[in-house]
Amino acid sequence: MLKQYTALSIVAPNAERIAKKIKTLEVRSWRPETLPLKDVVIVENQNFLLQDGDEEFGLAVALVDIETVHAWRVDEVDAACATYWAEGYLAWVICNIRPIDPPIQVIAKRKLYLLELDIG
């Protein structure tokens, strides 16, 4: 049965790192309107989607919860699988990670968006 999920696109290989529970923080310049976010579909795509309306195909690789968001700290570079730290960004705390196996081809969009999927 199809169910509507909130989705978040993340450029490869970081979505796969979330599915493998290596990456536990997602760093963004913006904050979601409401928290916590439950059952967010993590979509891995190949390119940064920089303009409103940018889309491409991606793979739904995990279901996660985003419990809290806080100012990204310099000691959190490893948890974010980042190559450097920069001030002014927000760390989204990822928990309750449930890999989607096999991954499902879906559309990747900017920001948070809605997908209809038959999972779990």
Structure tokens at 1: 């049965």
Per-residue pLDDT of the chain (120 residues; tens, 9 = 90+): 899 999 999 999 999 999 999 999 999 999 999 999 999 999 999 999 999 899 999 999 999 999 999 999 999 999 999 999 999 999 999 999 999 999 999 999 999 999 999 986
* CATH 2.30.130.30 given to domain 3-114: yes
The answer to whether 74 touches 85, Cβ cutoff 8 Å, is yes
Each domain of the chain, given as residue ranges in start order, spans 3-114
The answer to whether 22 touches 46, Cβ cutoff 8 Å, is no
- pTM over cut 0.85: yes
CA angle 55, 63, 84 (to 5 degrees): 70
* 3-state SS, one letter per residue, for 62-102: EEEEEEEEEECCHHHCCCCCCCCCCCCCEEEEEEEEEEEEE
